[in-house]
Homo-oligomer: A and B are copies of this chain.
């Protein structure tokens, strides 16, 4: 194997589909800069329906990309969300990957 062959080609195959879905990409973009967000904040920012947002958050959590913390605030349920380090890394990797492909 010579040096030319070791150049890794930016590959569409290894796009992270969990992040690639626009609804979740949007969520990740907000969480990446905000660090801490609650359900209602994301609801308004993303424009997703509640059911939709709920399911996408669960999927991101199932992949270890974020943490969902439930508490009661003024006697009402309150859902806080933040990216895990894994989620943060996955997002930067996704970004690098796509920039490589498109540039």
Bin the interface of chain A by size.
10 to 19
Shortest C-beta distance, A14 to chain B (Å), equals: 9
List the number of copies, as a whole number: 2
Q: Which residues, 38 to 95 on A, are CB-close (under 8 Å) to B?
A: 47, 95
Q: A37 on the interface (CB 8 Å rule)?
A: no
Contact between A99 and B101 (Cβ–Cβ < 8 Å)? no
- A103 vs B26: C-alpha distance when bound (angstroms): 14
Contact between A29 and B47 (Cβ–Cβ < 8 Å)? no
For A29, give its contact among B12, B23, B26 (CB under 8 Å). Answer: B12
Contact between B101 and A102 (Cβ–Cβ < 8 Å)? no
* CB-defined contacts of A23 to chain B, threshold 8 Å: 12
Contact between A22 and B13 (Cβ–Cβ < 8 Å)? yes
For A26, give its contact among B12, B20, B22 (CB under 8 Å). Answer: B12
Q: A18 on the interface (CB 8 Å rule)?
A: no
Residues of A in contact with B (beta carbons under 8 Å apart): 12-13, 15, 17, 20, 22-23, 25-26, 29, 47, 95, 98-99, 101-103
